[in-house]
Structure 1
Amino acid sequence: MLTQTTTRVLEPGDLGAALAVLESEPVANAFVTSRVQIAGLDPWRLGGEMWGWYTDGRLRSLCYSGANLVPICATPEAVRAFADRARRAGRRCSSIVGPAEPTAQLWRLLEPGWGPAREVRANQPLMVTESSSADVAPDPLVRRIRKDEMDVLMPACVAMFTEEVGISPLAGDGGLLYQARVAELIGAGRSFARIEDGKVVFKAEIGAATPQACQIQGVWVAPEHRGRGLSETGMAAVLRYALADVAPVVSLYVNDYNTPARRAYARVGFRETGAFMSVLF
Protein backbone atom coordinates (compact mmCIF):
# COMPACT_ATOMS: atom_id res chain seq x y z
CA MET A 1 0.00 0.00 0.00
CA LEU A 2 1.15 3.52 -0.75
CA THR A 3 1.55 5.21 2.63
CA GLN A 4 2.86 8.59 1.60
CA THR A 5 1.77 11.44 -0.62
CA THR A 6 2.60 10.49 -4.18
CA THR A 7 1.43 10.50 -7.79
CA ARG A 8 1.60 7.79 -10.41
CA VAL A 9 0.11 6.71 -13.71
CA LEU A 10 -2.90 4.53 -12.99
CA GLU A 11 -3.17 1.02 -14.40
CA PRO A 12 -6.18 -1.11 -15.38
CA GLY A 13 -6.24 -2.65 -11.91
CA ASP A 14 -6.92 0.80 -10.44
CA LEU A 15 -10.24 1.13 -12.29
CA GLY A 16 -12.50 0.69 -9.29
CA ALA A 17 -10.71 3.31 -7.22
CA ALA A 18 -10.62 5.73 -10.15
CA LEU A 19 -14.34 5.35 -10.82
CA ALA A 20 -15.06 6.00 -7.14
CA VAL A 21 -13.31 9.36 -7.43
CA LEU A 22 -14.96 10.20 -10.76
CA GLU A 23 -18.45 9.27 -9.61
CA SER A 24 -18.16 11.39 -6.46
CA GLU A 25 -18.90 14.40 -8.71
CA PRO A 26 -20.93 12.86 -11.56
CA VAL A 27 -21.90 16.10 -13.32
CA ALA A 28 -18.55 17.89 -13.30
CA ASN A 29 -16.70 14.70 -14.24
CA ALA A 30 -19.10 13.39 -16.88
CA PHE A 31 -16.68 13.89 -19.79
CA VAL A 32 -13.85 11.83 -18.30
CA THR A 33 -16.13 9.35 -16.54
CA SER A 34 -17.85 8.45 -19.80
CA ARG A 35 -14.51 7.69 -21.43
CA VAL A 36 -13.21 5.64 -18.52
CA GLN A 37 -16.43 3.60 -18.30
CA ILE A 38 -15.99 2.64 -21.96
CA ALA A 39 -12.22 2.34 -22.29
CA GLY A 40 -10.95 1.61 -18.79
CA LEU A 41 -7.52 2.93 -17.83
CA ASP A 42 -5.38 1.41 -20.56
CA PRO A 43 -3.69 4.48 -22.11
CA TRP A 44 -4.00 3.18 -25.67
CA ARG A 45 -7.77 2.64 -25.38
CA LEU A 46 -8.35 5.71 -23.21
CA GLY A 47 -6.43 8.03 -25.51
CA GLY A 48 -4.18 9.27 -22.71
CA GLU A 49 -2.85 8.58 -19.24
CA MET A 50 -4.76 8.90 -15.99
CA TRP A 51 -2.61 10.28 -13.20
CA GLY A 52 -3.53 9.52 -9.60
CA TRP A 53 -2.77 11.48 -6.46
CA TYR A 54 -2.58 9.43 -3.27
CA THR A 55 -2.58 10.51 0.36
CA ASP A 56 -2.31 7.96 3.17
CA GLY A 57 -2.61 5.16 0.66
CA ARG A 58 -5.93 6.35 -0.73
CA LEU A 59 -6.59 7.67 -4.23
CA ARG A 60 -7.93 11.21 -3.74
CA SER A 61 -7.51 13.13 -7.02
CA LEU A 62 -7.05 12.40 -10.72
CA CYS A 63 -5.76 14.16 -13.80
CA TYR A 64 -6.52 12.99 -17.33
CA SER A 65 -3.63 13.69 -19.69
CA GLY A 66 -4.56 13.24 -23.33
CA ALA A 67 -5.75 15.63 -26.00
CA ASN A 68 -7.01 17.63 -23.02
CA LEU A 69 -5.41 18.02 -19.60
CA VAL A 70 -8.24 17.69 -17.06
CA PRO A 71 -7.86 17.98 -13.26
CA ILE A 72 -10.48 15.89 -11.45
CA CYS A 73 -11.47 16.35 -7.80
CA ALA A 74 -8.04 17.93 -7.49
CA THR A 75 -6.89 19.43 -4.19
CA PRO A 76 -4.30 22.24 -4.26
CA GLU A 77 -1.61 19.73 -3.29
CA ALA A 78 -2.68 17.37 -6.06
CA VAL A 79 -2.67 20.20 -8.61
CA ARG A 80 0.93 21.05 -7.71
CA ALA A 81 1.93 17.42 -8.17
CA PHE A 82 0.08 17.18 -11.49
CA ALA A 83 1.74 20.41 -12.68
CA ASP A 84 5.18 18.99 -11.85
CA ARG A 85 4.44 15.84 -13.85
CA ALA A 86 3.02 17.84 -16.76
CA ARG A 87 6.09 20.09 -16.87
CA ARG A 88 8.41 17.10 -16.97
CA ALA A 89 6.40 15.44 -19.75
CA GLY A 90 6.07 18.62 -21.84
CA ARG A 91 2.87 19.92 -23.37
CA ARG A 92 1.05 17.33 -25.46
CA CYS A 93 -2.51 18.62 -25.05
CA SER A 94 -4.46 21.13 -27.11
CA SER A 95 -6.28 22.48 -24.06
CA ILE A 96 -6.53 22.46 -20.28
CA VAL A 97 -10.13 22.23 -19.13
CA GLY A 98 -11.95 21.52 -15.91
CA PRO A 99 -13.54 23.06 -12.83
CA ALA A 100 -12.46 26.68 -12.68
CA GLU A 101 -10.53 26.78 -9.39
CA PRO A 102 -8.14 23.82 -9.86
CA THR A 103 -7.77 24.58 -13.57
CA ALA A 104 -6.77 28.16 -12.79
CA GLN A 105 -4.20 26.94 -10.28
CA LEU A 106 -2.86 24.39 -12.75
CA TRP A 107 -2.52 27.06 -15.44
CA ARG A 108 -0.72 29.45 -13.08
CA LEU A 109 1.87 26.76 -12.45
CA LEU A 110 2.23 25.72 -16.09
CA GLU A 111 2.01 29.10 -17.82
CA PRO A 112 5.69 30.06 -17.31
CA GLY A 113 6.75 27.01 -19.31
CA TRP A 114 3.74 26.37 -21.52
CA GLY A 115 2.50 29.88 -22.22
CA PRO A 116 1.34 31.94 -23.81
CA ALA A 117 -2.03 30.35 -24.48
CA ARG A 118 -3.98 31.15 -27.62
CA GLU A 119 -6.99 31.96 -25.44
CA VAL A 120 -7.99 31.66 -21.78
CA ARG A 121 -11.70 31.36 -20.89
CA ALA A 122 -11.55 31.80 -17.14
CA ASN A 123 -15.26 31.62 -16.35
CA GLN A 124 -17.55 29.22 -18.19
CA PRO A 125 -20.73 28.73 -16.15
CA LEU A 126 -21.72 25.10 -15.61
CA MET A 127 -25.47 24.75 -16.09
CA VAL A 128 -27.54 21.79 -14.92
CA THR A 129 -31.14 20.59 -15.01
CA GLU A 130 -33.14 17.52 -14.06
CA SER A 131 -36.33 18.59 -15.84
CA SER A 132 -37.63 20.49 -18.83
CA SER A 133 -39.23 23.91 -18.51
CA ALA A 134 -42.89 24.14 -19.44
CA ASP A 135 -42.25 27.63 -20.81
CA VAL A 136 -40.51 26.46 -24.01
CA ALA A 137 -42.09 23.95 -26.37
CA PRO A 138 -39.61 21.51 -27.96
CA ASP A 139 -39.07 21.98 -31.69
CA PRO A 140 -40.86 19.00 -33.31
CA LEU A 141 -38.48 19.16 -36.30
CA VAL A 142 -35.37 18.48 -34.21
CA ARG A 143 -34.58 14.77 -34.45
CA ARG A 144 -31.79 12.24 -34.28
CA ILE A 145 -29.41 12.30 -37.22
CA ARG A 146 -29.17 9.11 -39.29
CA LYS A 147 -25.86 7.59 -40.30
CA ASP A 148 -26.55 8.38 -43.97
CA GLU A 149 -26.89 12.09 -43.11
CA MET A 150 -23.33 12.65 -41.95
CA ASP A 151 -22.44 14.60 -45.12
CA VAL A 152 -25.35 16.94 -44.39
CA LEU A 153 -24.33 17.43 -40.75
CA MET A 154 -20.57 17.73 -41.19
CA PRO A 155 -20.44 21.32 -42.59
CA ALA A 156 -22.47 22.55 -39.61
CA CYS A 157 -20.15 20.73 -37.19
CA VAL A 158 -17.09 22.28 -38.80
CA ALA A 159 -18.69 25.75 -38.74
CA MET A 160 -19.62 25.37 -35.06
CA PHE A 161 -16.17 24.15 -34.04
CA THR A 162 -14.37 26.88 -35.97
CA GLU A 163 -16.64 29.57 -34.55
CA GLU A 164 -16.32 28.27 -30.98
CA VAL A 165 -12.66 27.26 -30.80
CA GLY A 166 -11.15 29.66 -33.32
CA ILE A 167 -9.44 27.07 -35.50
CA SER A 168 -10.76 24.54 -37.99
CA PRO A 169 -11.09 20.91 -36.86
CA LEU A 170 -9.92 19.93 -40.35
CA ALA A 171 -6.40 21.24 -39.70
CA GLY A 172 -3.57 18.87 -38.94
CA ASP A 173 -4.85 15.41 -39.87
CA GLY A 174 -7.35 16.71 -42.40
CA GLY A 175 -10.17 16.25 -39.95
CA LEU A 176 -9.98 12.46 -39.65
CA LEU A 177 -10.23 12.40 -35.86
CA TYR A 178 -12.99 14.99 -35.84
CA GLN A 179 -14.98 13.15 -38.48
CA ALA A 180 -14.60 9.94 -36.50
CA ARG A 181 -15.98 11.65 -33.39
CA VAL A 182 -18.95 13.08 -35.31
CA ALA A 183 -19.65 9.62 -36.76
CA GLU A 184 -19.37 8.06 -33.29
CA LEU A 185 -22.02 10.39 -31.85
CA ILE A 186 -24.33 9.81 -34.81
CA GLY A 187 -23.91 6.06 -34.43
CA ALA A 188 -24.71 6.30 -30.71
CA GLY A 189 -27.91 8.21 -31.42
CA ARG A 190 -26.63 11.31 -29.62
CA SER A 191 -26.52 13.78 -32.53
CA PHE A 192 -29.58 15.96 -33.16
CA ALA A 193 -30.53 18.57 -35.75
CA ARG A 194 -33.27 20.40 -37.58
CA ILE A 195 -32.70 20.14 -41.32
CA GLU A 196 -34.45 22.32 -43.88
CA ASP A 197 -33.91 22.05 -47.64
CA GLY A 198 -30.92 19.79 -47.11
CA LYS A 199 -29.14 22.16 -44.72
CA VAL A 200 -28.74 22.14 -40.95
CA VAL A 201 -30.62 24.97 -39.25
CA PHE A 202 -29.98 23.89 -35.63
CA LYS A 203 -27.79 21.17 -34.16
CA ALA A 204 -26.50 19.87 -30.84
CA GLU A 205 -24.98 16.67 -29.48
CA ILE A 206 -25.00 14.77 -26.22
CA GLY A 207 -21.25 14.49 -26.08
CA ALA A 208 -20.59 12.74 -22.77
CA ALA A 209 -22.98 10.27 -21.21
CA THR A 210 -22.96 8.15 -18.07
CA PRO A 211 -25.86 6.51 -16.21
CA GLN A 212 -25.74 9.43 -13.74
CA ALA A 213 -25.34 12.48 -16.00
CA CYS A 214 -24.83 13.63 -19.56
CA GLN A 215 -23.49 16.77 -21.20
CA ILE A 216 -24.87 18.66 -24.19
CA GLN A 217 -22.30 20.21 -26.51
CA GLY A 218 -21.91 21.68 -29.98
CA VAL A 219 -25.04 23.85 -29.88
CA TRP A 220 -25.23 25.83 -33.12
CA VAL A 221 -27.76 27.76 -35.16
CA ALA A 222 -27.05 28.66 -38.78
CA PRO A 223 -26.21 32.41 -38.91
CA GLU A 224 -29.05 33.26 -41.28
CA HIS A 225 -31.56 31.70 -38.88
CA ARG A 226 -30.39 33.33 -35.65
CA GLY A 227 -32.78 35.55 -33.71
CA ARG A 228 -35.79 33.28 -34.30
CA GLY A 229 -35.64 31.44 -30.98
CA LEU A 230 -34.43 28.21 -32.58
CA SER A 231 -31.74 27.72 -29.94
CA GLU A 232 -34.40 27.61 -27.21
CA THR A 233 -36.87 25.30 -28.94
CA GLY A 234 -34.04 23.16 -30.31
CA MET A 235 -32.41 22.82 -26.90
CA ALA A 236 -35.77 21.96 -25.38
CA ALA A 237 -36.06 19.12 -27.89
CA VAL A 238 -32.54 17.79 -27.21
CA LEU A 239 -33.12 18.09 -23.47
CA ARG A 240 -36.30 16.02 -23.79
CA TYR A 241 -34.37 13.25 -25.58
CA ALA A 242 -31.52 13.43 -23.04
CA LEU A 243 -33.75 13.12 -19.98
CA ALA A 244 -35.88 10.38 -21.51
CA ASP A 245 -33.16 8.23 -23.05
CA VAL A 246 -29.76 9.01 -21.56
CA ALA A 247 -29.47 10.26 -17.96
CA PRO A 248 -31.49 11.88 -15.16
CA VAL A 249 -29.23 14.96 -15.01
CA VAL A 250 -28.23 17.05 -18.03
CA SER A 251 -25.45 19.65 -18.04
CA LEU A 252 -23.56 21.99 -20.32
CA TYR A 253 -21.05 24.77 -19.93
CA VAL A 254 -21.09 28.06 -21.76
CA ASN A 255 -18.81 31.09 -22.14
CA ASP A 256 -19.67 33.77 -19.59
CA TYR A 257 -19.71 36.48 -22.26
CA ASN A 258 -22.36 34.61 -24.28
CA THR A 259 -25.29 36.30 -22.56
CA PRO A 260 -27.93 35.32 -25.15
CA ALA A 261 -27.04 31.63 -24.82
CA ARG A 262 -27.07 31.76 -21.02
CA ARG A 263 -30.52 33.36 -21.08
CA ALA A 264 -31.81 30.83 -23.60
CA TYR A 265 -30.57 27.88 -21.58
CA ALA A 266 -32.08 29.33 -18.41
CA ARG A 267 -35.45 29.65 -20.13
CA VAL A 268 -35.26 26.00 -21.18
CA GLY A 269 -34.71 24.98 -17.54
CA PHE A 270 -30.96 25.07 -16.85
CA ARG A 271 -29.53 26.73 -13.74
CA GLU A 272 -25.93 27.75 -13.08
CA THR A 273 -24.26 25.59 -10.43
CA GLY A 274 -20.54 26.24 -10.85
CA ALA A 275 -17.93 27.18 -13.41
CA PHE A 276 -15.43 25.56 -15.74
CA MET A 277 -12.30 27.09 -17.22
CA SER A 278 -10.60 26.38 -20.54
CA VAL A 279 -7.07 27.21 -21.69
CA LEU A 280 -6.70 26.81 -25.46
CA PHE A 281 -3.37 26.36 -27.25
Structure 2
Amino acid sequence: MTQTTTRVLGPGDLGAALAVLDSDPVANAFVASRVQVAGLDPWRLGGEMWGWYAGGELRSLCYAGANLVPVCAEPEAVRAFAERARRSGRRCSSIVGPAEPTAELWRLLEPSWGPARDVRPHQPLMATDRLSRDVQPDPYVRRVRKDEMDVIMPACVAMFTEEVGVSPLAGDGGLLYQARVAELVGSGRAFARFADGKVVFKAEIGAATPQACQIQGVWVAPEYRGRGLSETGMAAVLRYALADTAPVVSLYVNDYNLPARASYRRVGFRETGAFMSVLF
Protein backbone atom coordinates (compact mmCIF):
# COMPACT_ATOMS: atom_id res chain seq x y z
CA MET A 1 0.00 0.00 0.00
CA THR A 2 1.29 3.47 -0.89
CA GLN A 3 1.88 5.54 2.22
CA THR A 4 0.37 9.03 2.04
CA THR A 5 0.69 12.09 4.24
CA THR A 6 -0.28 15.76 4.24
CA ARG A 7 1.61 18.61 5.86
CA VAL A 8 2.26 22.34 5.71
CA LEU A 9 5.20 23.03 3.40
CA GLY A 10 8.13 25.26 4.29
CA PRO A 11 11.00 26.99 2.50
CA GLY A 12 12.92 23.72 2.21
CA ASP A 13 10.14 22.29 0.05
CA LEU A 14 10.29 25.04 -2.57
CA GLY A 15 11.94 23.02 -5.33
CA ALA A 16 9.47 20.15 -5.05
CA ALA A 17 6.50 22.54 -4.94
CA LEU A 18 7.69 24.38 -8.05
CA ALA A 19 8.03 21.06 -9.87
CA VAL A 20 4.36 20.31 -9.15
CA LEU A 21 3.32 23.79 -10.27
CA ASP A 22 5.38 23.53 -13.46
CA SER A 23 3.46 20.41 -14.51
CA ASP A 24 0.57 22.66 -15.65
CA PRO A 25 1.85 26.24 -15.86
CA VAL A 26 -1.35 27.66 -17.38
CA ALA A 27 -3.83 26.27 -14.87
CA ASN A 28 -1.43 26.90 -11.98
CA ALA A 29 -0.41 30.45 -12.93
CA PHE A 30 -2.07 32.13 -9.93
CA VAL A 31 -0.44 29.98 -7.26
CA ALA A 32 2.86 29.68 -9.13
CA SER A 33 3.18 33.45 -9.45
CA ARG A 34 2.79 33.86 -5.68
CA VAL A 35 5.24 31.08 -4.86
CA GLN A 36 7.88 32.33 -7.29
CA VAL A 37 7.78 35.77 -5.66
CA ALA A 38 7.23 34.89 -2.00
CA GLY A 39 8.49 31.33 -1.61
CA LEU A 40 6.72 29.08 0.90
CA ASP A 41 7.09 31.11 4.08
CA PRO A 42 3.45 31.55 5.21
CA TRP A 43 3.94 35.17 6.27
CA ARG A 44 5.35 36.23 2.90
CA LEU A 45 3.06 33.95 0.91
CA GLY A 46 -0.08 35.25 2.59
CA GLY A 47 -1.20 31.77 3.58
CA GLU A 48 -0.11 28.18 4.03
CA MET A 49 0.82 25.76 1.28
CA TRP A 50 -0.36 22.26 2.05
CA GLY A 51 1.41 19.35 0.40
CA TRP A 52 0.13 15.84 -0.21
CA TYR A 53 2.72 13.08 -0.49
CA ALA A 54 2.39 9.58 -1.90
CA GLY A 55 5.30 7.17 -1.52
CA GLY A 56 7.49 10.01 -0.27
CA GLU A 57 6.88 12.14 -3.38
CA LEU A 58 5.10 15.49 -3.32
CA ARG A 59 2.21 15.03 -5.75
CA SER A 60 -0.46 17.67 -4.93
CA LEU A 61 -0.70 21.12 -3.36
CA CYS A 62 -3.38 23.32 -1.86
CA TYR A 63 -2.89 27.03 -1.29
CA ALA A 64 -4.78 28.13 1.82
CA GLY A 65 -4.89 31.90 2.00
CA ALA A 66 -7.49 34.44 0.99
CA ASN A 67 -8.48 31.77 -1.55
CA LEU A 68 -8.41 28.01 -1.14
CA VAL A 69 -6.85 26.62 -4.34
CA PRO A 70 -6.24 22.92 -5.06
CA VAL A 71 -3.26 22.30 -7.36
CA CYS A 72 -2.79 19.07 -9.32
CA ALA A 73 -5.00 17.52 -6.66
CA GLU A 74 -5.59 13.78 -6.97
CA PRO A 75 -8.84 12.42 -5.44
CA GLU A 76 -7.13 11.19 -2.28
CA ALA A 77 -5.32 14.52 -1.94
CA VAL A 78 -8.63 16.38 -2.23
CA ARG A 79 -10.04 14.32 0.63
CA ALA A 80 -6.97 15.07 2.76
CA PHE A 81 -7.12 18.79 1.97
CA ALA A 82 -10.84 18.90 2.75
CA GLU A 83 -10.28 17.29 6.15
CA ARG A 84 -7.53 19.76 7.01
CA ALA A 85 -9.68 22.69 5.84
CA ARG A 86 -12.67 21.44 7.81
CA ARG A 87 -10.61 21.14 11.01
CA SER A 88 -9.07 24.61 10.67
CA GLY A 89 -12.35 26.33 9.76
CA ARG A 90 -13.07 28.66 6.87
CA ARG A 91 -10.66 31.58 6.60
CA CYS A 92 -10.92 32.18 2.86
CA SER A 93 -13.32 34.28 0.79
CA SER A 94 -13.47 31.74 -2.05
CA ILE A 95 -12.51 28.29 -3.27
CA VAL A 96 -11.23 28.37 -6.82
CA GLY A 97 -9.35 25.99 -9.07
CA PRO A 98 -9.68 23.32 -11.76
CA ALA A 99 -13.33 22.32 -11.91
CA GLU A 100 -13.18 18.61 -11.05
CA PRO A 101 -11.07 18.71 -7.86
CA THR A 102 -12.69 21.97 -6.76
CA ALA A 103 -16.16 20.45 -7.10
CA GLU A 104 -15.14 17.48 -4.96
CA LEU A 105 -13.45 19.75 -2.42
CA TRP A 106 -16.65 21.79 -2.11
CA ARG A 107 -18.81 18.66 -1.85
CA LEU A 108 -16.77 17.59 1.15
CA LEU A 109 -16.66 21.04 2.76
CA GLU A 110 -20.21 22.24 2.12
CA PRO A 111 -21.75 20.49 5.15
CA SER A 112 -19.47 22.46 7.48
CA TRP A 113 -18.64 25.56 5.43
CA GLY A 114 -21.91 26.12 3.57
CA PRO A 115 -23.96 27.68 2.35
CA ALA A 116 -21.95 29.60 -0.24
CA ARG A 117 -23.01 33.01 -1.49
CA ASP A 118 -22.49 31.85 -5.09
CA VAL A 119 -21.22 28.73 -6.85
CA ARG A 120 -19.92 28.93 -10.42
CA PRO A 121 -19.36 25.29 -11.38
CA HIS A 122 -18.02 25.73 -14.91
CA GLN A 123 -15.77 28.63 -15.91
CA PRO A 124 -13.96 27.92 -19.17
CA LEU A 125 -10.19 28.37 -18.97
CA MET A 126 -8.99 29.95 -22.20
CA ALA A 127 -5.43 30.44 -23.45
CA THR A 128 -3.43 31.53 -26.48
CA ASP A 129 0.17 31.98 -27.52
CA ARG A 130 -0.40 34.33 -30.47
CA LEU A 131 -2.25 37.37 -31.67
CA SER A 132 -5.30 36.95 -33.86
CA ARG A 133 -5.22 38.41 -37.35
CA ASP A 134 -8.95 39.08 -37.11
CA VAL A 135 -8.91 41.79 -34.43
CA GLN A 136 -6.68 44.83 -34.49
CA PRO A 137 -5.36 45.96 -31.08
CA ASP A 138 -6.81 49.23 -29.81
CA PRO A 139 -3.99 51.80 -30.18
CA TYR A 140 -5.44 53.86 -27.30
CA VAL A 141 -5.09 51.10 -24.69
CA ARG A 142 -1.94 51.71 -22.67
CA ARG A 143 -0.34 51.04 -19.31
CA VAL A 144 -1.93 52.89 -16.41
CA ARG A 145 0.45 55.37 -14.76
CA LYS A 146 0.99 55.59 -11.02
CA ASP A 147 -0.49 59.09 -10.95
CA GLU A 148 -3.76 57.73 -12.43
CA MET A 149 -4.78 55.64 -9.40
CA ASP A 150 -7.68 57.98 -8.61
CA VAL A 151 -9.00 57.47 -12.15
CA ILE A 152 -8.57 53.70 -12.38
CA MET A 153 -9.90 52.84 -8.90
CA PRO A 154 -13.61 53.61 -9.59
CA ALA A 155 -13.48 51.36 -12.66
CA CYS A 156 -11.80 48.58 -10.66
CA VAL A 157 -14.42 48.84 -7.91
CA ALA A 158 -17.23 48.80 -10.48
CA MET A 159 -15.78 45.72 -12.19
CA PHE A 160 -15.26 43.83 -8.93
CA THR A 161 -18.75 44.62 -7.64
CA GLU A 162 -20.33 43.63 -10.95
CA GLU A 163 -18.35 40.39 -11.21
CA VAL A 164 -18.25 39.18 -7.61
CA GLY A 165 -21.51 40.63 -6.31
CA VAL A 166 -20.06 42.52 -3.34
CA SER A 167 -18.00 45.70 -3.09
CA PRO A 168 -14.25 45.35 -2.47
CA LEU A 169 -14.56 48.40 -0.21
CA ALA A 170 -16.47 46.44 2.44
CA GLY A 171 -14.72 45.35 5.62
CA ASP A 172 -11.44 47.28 5.70
CA GLY A 173 -12.70 50.17 3.59
CA GLY A 174 -10.91 48.84 0.55
CA LEU A 175 -7.35 49.18 1.85
CA LEU A 176 -6.26 45.70 0.75
CA TYR A 177 -7.99 46.03 -2.61
CA GLN A 178 -6.45 49.44 -3.25
CA ALA A 179 -3.03 48.06 -2.35
CA ARG A 180 -3.49 45.23 -4.85
CA VAL A 181 -4.52 47.64 -7.62
CA ALA A 182 -1.55 49.87 -6.78
CA GLU A 183 0.74 46.82 -6.99
CA LEU A 184 -0.54 45.98 -10.49
CA VAL A 185 -0.25 49.60 -11.64
CA GLY A 186 3.23 49.91 -10.17
CA SER A 187 4.42 46.73 -11.88
CA GLY A 188 3.11 47.87 -15.28
CA ARG A 189 0.44 45.17 -15.45
CA ALA A 190 -2.67 47.40 -15.49
CA PHE A 191 -3.99 48.62 -18.84
CA ALA A 192 -6.78 50.99 -19.82
CA ARG A 193 -8.27 53.22 -22.47
CA PHE A 194 -9.27 56.66 -21.22
CA ALA A 195 -11.81 59.12 -22.63
CA ASP A 196 -12.90 62.45 -21.13
CA GLY A 197 -10.98 61.71 -17.95
CA LYS A 198 -12.67 58.35 -17.37
CA VAL A 199 -11.80 54.70 -17.96
CA VAL A 200 -13.79 53.19 -20.82
CA PHE A 201 -11.91 49.85 -20.97
CA LYS A 202 -9.54 48.17 -18.55
CA ALA A 203 -7.85 44.85 -17.81
CA GLU A 204 -4.90 43.64 -15.77
CA ILE A 205 -2.33 40.88 -15.92
CA GLY A 206 -3.11 39.54 -12.48
CA ALA A 207 -0.73 36.57 -12.27
CA ALA A 208 2.52 36.14 -14.15
CA THR A 209 5.30 33.57 -14.33
CA PRO A 210 7.99 33.05 -16.98
CA GLN A 211 5.81 30.29 -18.47
CA ALA A 212 2.32 31.82 -18.44
CA CYS A 213 0.26 34.78 -17.30
CA GLN A 214 -3.41 35.36 -16.58
CA ILE A 215 -5.55 38.34 -17.57
CA GLN A 216 -8.20 39.46 -15.11
CA GLY A 217 -10.55 42.36 -14.41
CA VAL A 218 -11.75 42.90 -17.98
CA TRP A 219 -14.32 45.69 -17.92
CA VAL A 220 -15.98 48.13 -20.33
CA ALA A 221 -17.85 51.17 -19.06
CA PRO A 222 -21.62 50.51 -19.48
CA GLU A 223 -22.18 53.44 -21.80
CA TYR A 224 -19.43 52.15 -24.15
CA ARG A 225 -20.58 48.55 -24.38
CA GLY A 226 -21.60 47.11 -27.73
CA ARG A 227 -18.93 49.02 -29.65
CA GLY A 228 -16.32 46.24 -29.84
CA LEU A 229 -14.01 47.81 -27.25
CA SER A 230 -13.69 44.53 -25.34
CA GLU A 231 -12.25 42.81 -28.41
CA THR A 232 -9.83 45.52 -29.54
CA GLY A 233 -8.91 46.28 -25.94
CA MET A 234 -8.21 42.63 -25.16
CA ALA A 235 -6.15 42.35 -28.33
CA ALA A 236 -4.05 45.27 -27.10
CA VAL A 237 -3.55 43.76 -23.65
CA LEU A 238 -2.72 40.41 -25.24
CA ARG A 239 -0.07 42.07 -27.40
CA TYR A 240 1.53 43.64 -24.31
CA ALA A 241 1.35 40.35 -22.40
CA LEU A 242 2.98 38.26 -25.12
CA ALA A 243 5.67 40.84 -25.77
CA ASP A 244 6.61 41.64 -22.18
CA THR A 245 5.33 38.99 -19.78
CA ALA A 246 4.95 35.36 -20.88
CA PRO A 247 4.70 33.14 -23.98
CA VAL A 248 1.19 31.90 -23.06
CA VAL A 249 -1.68 34.13 -21.92
CA SER A 250 -4.79 32.79 -20.21
CA LEU A 251 -8.02 33.86 -18.54
CA TYR A 252 -11.15 32.22 -17.21
CA VAL A 253 -14.70 33.38 -17.74
CA ASN A 254 -18.18 32.52 -16.49
CA ASP A 255 -19.80 29.97 -18.81
CA TYR A 256 -23.06 31.97 -18.95
CA ASN A 257 -21.23 35.05 -20.26
CA LEU A 258 -21.65 34.05 -23.89
CA PRO A 259 -20.78 37.47 -25.39
CA ALA A 260 -17.45 37.55 -23.50
CA ARG A 261 -16.60 33.99 -24.52
CA ALA A 262 -17.30 34.79 -28.17
CA SER A 263 -15.27 37.98 -27.91
CA TYR A 264 -12.26 36.17 -26.44
CA ARG A 265 -12.46 33.52 -29.16
CA ARG A 266 -12.33 36.22 -31.83
CA VAL A 267 -9.24 37.68 -30.17
CA GLY A 268 -7.59 34.25 -30.39
CA PHE A 269 -8.25 32.50 -27.09
CA ARG A 270 -9.25 28.84 -27.09
CA GLU A 271 -10.79 26.78 -24.30
CA THR A 272 -8.19 24.52 -22.68
CA GLY A 273 -9.97 23.45 -19.49
CA ALA A 274 -12.43 24.65 -16.87
CA PHE A 275 -12.28 26.29 -13.47
CA MET A 276 -14.84 26.41 -10.67
CA SER A 277 -15.39 29.11 -8.06
CA VAL A 278 -17.22 29.02 -4.75
CA LEU A 279 -17.79 32.51 -3.31
CA PHE A 280 -18.55 33.22 0.35
Q: Give the match's secondary structure for 2:227.
A: coil
Amino acid at match of 2:276: M
Residue in 2 that maps onto 1:119: 118
Question: Structure 2 CA distance, aligned partners of 1:272 and 1:8?
Answer: 34
Superposition deviation, residue 4 in structure 1: 2.5
Superposition deviation, residue 198 in structure 1: 0.5
Amino acid at match of 2:31: V
Residue in 1 that maps onto 2:14: 15
Question: Structure 2 CA distance, aligned partners of 1:179 and 1:44?
Answer: 20
Per-residue deviation, residues 68-119 of structure 1 (Å, max 9, x unmatched): 0000000000000000000000000000000000000000000000001000
Matches within 5 A, 1:133-212: 133-212=132-211
Q: What count of residue pairs does the alignment treat as equivalent?
A: 279
Question: Structure 2 CA distance, aligned partners of 1:163 and 1:240?
Answer: 26
Matches within 5 A, 1:229-248: 229-248=228-247
Residue in 2 that maps onto 1:48: 47
Amino acid at match of 2:254: N
Residue in 2 that maps onto 1:75: 74
Residue in 1 that maps onto 2:96: 97
Q: Please report the RMSD computed on the Cα atoms of aligned residues, expressed in angstroms.
A: 0.6
Per-residue deviation, residues 156-203 of structure 1 (Å, max 9, x unmatched): 000000000000000000000000000000011000000001100000
Residue in 2 that maps onto 1:6: 5
Q: Give the match's secondary structure for 2:172.
A: helix
Q: Give the match's secondary structure for 1:86.
A: helix
Q: Give the match's secondary structure for 1:212.
A: coil
User: Which ranges in structure 1 are unaligned for 5 or more consecutive residues?
Assistant: none
Per-residue deviation, residues 50-75 of structure 1 (Å, max 9, x unmatched): 00000000000000000000000000
Question: Structure 2 CA distance, aligned partners of 1:274 and 1:212?
Answer: 17
Displaced runs of 4+ in structure 1, greater than 3 A? none
Per-residue deviation, residues 13-49 of structure 1 (Å, max 9, x unmatched): 0000000000110000000000000000000000000
Question: Structure 1 CA distance, aligned partners of 2:105 and 2:140?
Answer: 43
User: Which ranges in structure 2 are unaligned for 5 or more consecutive residues?
Assistant: none
Per-residue deviation, residues 108-145 of structure 1 (Å, max 9, x unmatched): 00000000100000000000000010100000000000
Amino acid at match of 1:13: G
Question: Structure 2 CA distance, aligned partners of 1:230 and 1:45?
Answer: 38
What is the TM-score normalised by the length of structure 2?
0.99
Q: Are residue 37 (structure 1) and residue 28 (structure 2) matched?
A: no
Residue in 2 that maps onto 1:221: 220
Identical counterparts, % of pairs? 86
